[in-house]
Amino acid sequence: MNHIDKLVEHLRRKIKLTDRDIGLISDSFKLKELKKKEILLFAGDRSTHMRFITKGCLRSYYIGEDAKEHIQQFGIEDWWINDLYSYITDTVAKQFIQAVEDSYILQIHKKRLNELYVEIPLFEHFFRIKFERAYVSLQERTINSMSKSAEERYLEFRSKHRSIEQRVPQYMVASYLGVTPEFLSKLRRKMGS
């Protein structure tokens, strides 16, 4: 299955697409190959594309005042990844997006995506649902970080994202959970992981 086919299959789980729609989508998304550790988006740049991962694993993170990386999101096959705040507000990105593995993404420029909303009205519906889910996910993550213990957050991460945990270094999981790698090691030993 080629990269566009993966995107079309992903879209068809939520919306109906005609052959014309698929042609427009195929012409609008551009394939980008990333090598492991390659930066897709730098903090300080503007996020002007929506990005769909067809193969690989990426992370978005920011550098805190403590000069440490704080991972906000992981993305794997069949997921979207972006600095949505930058994309929506047309301001500079606060996050970096980096390939954790060799990866392939399909991306579409914001201007072209807005044109597709008119040309394929169900496409706008698809992205409205995606934005709603992204907001809910962010709110859930914020509440969990304030109300759950590190152990509870780790158990939830493992239950929801076991495949990601097996693909990324432990220090990245620790960063995502807001703990030190040493603390995560102790927690994993305690749990027999």
CATH match of 3-146 with 2.60.120.10: yes
Domain extents for the chain? 3-146, 148-193
pTM over 0.95: no
Nearest 5 degrees, angle CA 173-CA 79-CA 152?
35
pLDDT digits over 49-80, tens only? 999 999 999 999 999 998 999 999 999 999 99
Ranges 2-16, 18-32, 155-169: which has the least confidence: 155-169
